[in-house]
Amino acid sequence: MTEVVDVHRQESAAGTPVRPLARLLASAGAWTDEMIAGYGIPVQDTPIATVGGGIGSYILADYLRVAGGVPTSGLRVVSNLSHPWQTYERLANSSQISPTDRIRSDSASRPDNLWGFPSYALQEAIRDRSLGPLAHVFVEPIFDDYYTPRLGDVMKSIEREARRIRYWDMLVRGDAQLVRKRVGGGYYVLFVDERQEDPQPMALRVRDVHLAVGYPGLKFLPELQEFRERKNDHHRVVNAYENHEHVYHALRRRPGTVLVRGGGIVASRVLERLILDRQRYGQPTRIIHLLRTYVTGSHGPHPWARRSGKHGFAYQGFNYPKSVWGGQLKARMASLHGKDRADVYEEIGGTTTAYRREWQRQLRTAREEGWYHAVCGTISDLQDTGPKLTARMRVEQGEFEVEPDFVIDCTGLNAEVTEHQVLRDLLVHGGAQLNPLGRMDVKGSFELIGADSGPGRVYVTGAASLGGPFPGVDTFLGLQIAAQEVVDDIARRGHCRHLGPIASTLEWLRWATGRQL
Buried b (16+ CB within 10 A) or exposed e, 355-368: bbeebeebbeebee
Q: What is the pLDDT of residues 375-387, one digit of tens each?
A: 999 999 999 988 8
Peptide bond into 141 cis (omega under 30): yes
Q: pLDDT band for 39, please (50, 70, 90 cuts).
A: confident
- Residue 426 sits at the vertex; the CA angle it makes with 438 and 23, to the nearest 5 degrees, is 130
Q: Contact, 238 vs 262, CB < 8 A? A: no
Find, among 207, 180, 174, 173, the residue nearest to 35 by Cα.
180
* 3-state class (DSSP) for residue 377: strand
Q: Alpha-carbon distance 14 to 422, whole Å? A: 8
Residue spans in the chain of domains classed CATH 3.50.50.60: 20-105+149-217+415-513, 220-296+353-411
Q: What is the pLDDT of residues 340-352, one digit of tens each?
A: 999 989 888 888 8
Which residues are CB-neighbours of 62 under 8 A, at least 6 positions away?
Answer: 111, 112, 114, 161, 165, 483
CATH architecture of structural domain 20-105+149-217+415-513: 3-Layer(bba) Sandwich (3.50)
Is the pLDDT reported for residue 475 higher than 70? yes
Q: Contact, 214 vs 8, CB < 8 A? A: yes
- The pLDDT of residue 24 is 64
Q: For residues 457 and 296, which has the higher predicted lDDT (pLDDT)?
A: 457
Residue 279, CA distances (Å) to 255, 273, 406, 460 in order: 13, 10, 19, 45
Q: Which segment of 47-56, 97-106, 190-199, 452-461 scores lowest on mean pLDDT?
A: 190-199
What is the percent of the chain with per-residue pLDDT over 70, rounded to a whole number? 94
Is the pLDDT reported for residue 412 higher than 50? yes
The stretch 153-162 carries a mean pLDDT of 97
DSSP sequence for 137-194: HHHTTTTSPPP--BHHHHHHHHHHHHHHTTHHHHEEESEEEEEEEETTSSEEEEEE-T
What are the residues facing 401 on neighbouring strands?
Answer: 392
Predicted model pTM: 0.93
Residue 358, CA distances (Å) to 264, 364, 377, 473 in order: 17, 10, 27, 29
As assigned by CATH, the class of the 220-296+353-411 domain is alpha beta
Q: pLDDT band for 6, please (50, 70, 90 cuts).
A: very low
Find, among 326, 344, 314, the residue nearest to 468 by Cα.
344
